[in-house]
Amino acid sequence: MNQAVVAIGSNIEPERNIPAAIEQLEAVMSVLCESRFLHTEPVGPSGQPEFVNGAVLVETPLDRVGLKSLLRGVESQLGRVRTIDRYAPRPIDLDIVVWNGRIVDDDVRERDFLHAAIREVLPTLQL
């Protein structure tokens, strides 16, 4: 089994999309715990709604590529359309940030809310 921290964010109907994403993850893998979800300012251009961000710790038999593919499928089911604008508003954003105890997403080093969420779900990890 593999263990991952999946960062979750939304700034389009987060009160609906975040629980729906977690529910879809729970249907296919073990969600061991979830962090608090914090309201954060959007990165990039101003004028869009604030985000709600947090993370879950999951255990899965999938490899990293398989999990990433599954996360993209969940995003699509919840209405995410990827565009060239990486800072566009989105109903859901799901990213693997820690894989088997190793940080695998450079955004972790730049975003305090990711640090906080990871510390909540995986307090033994050295950040």
- Convert the pLDDT of each residue in 49-73 to its tens digit: 899 999 999 999 999 999 999 999 9
Q: Residue 105 above 80 pLDDT?
A: yes
Residue of 3, 1, 2 whose CA lies nearest to 124: 3
* pLDDT the model gives residue 21: 98
Q: Output the CATH code of domain 2-121.
A: 3.30.70.560
Q: Is the pLDDT of residue 95 over 90?
A: yes
Whether residue 78 is predicted with pLDDT greater than 90 in this model: the reply is yes
Which is nearest to 117 in space by CA: 101, 97, 99?
A: 97
7 CB-near residues (< 8 Å, 6+ apart): 53, 54, 55, 93, 94, 95, 96, 97, 105, 107, 114, 117
Q: What percentage of the chain has pLDDT greater than the value 70?
A: 97
Segments making up each domain of the chain, as ranges? 2-121
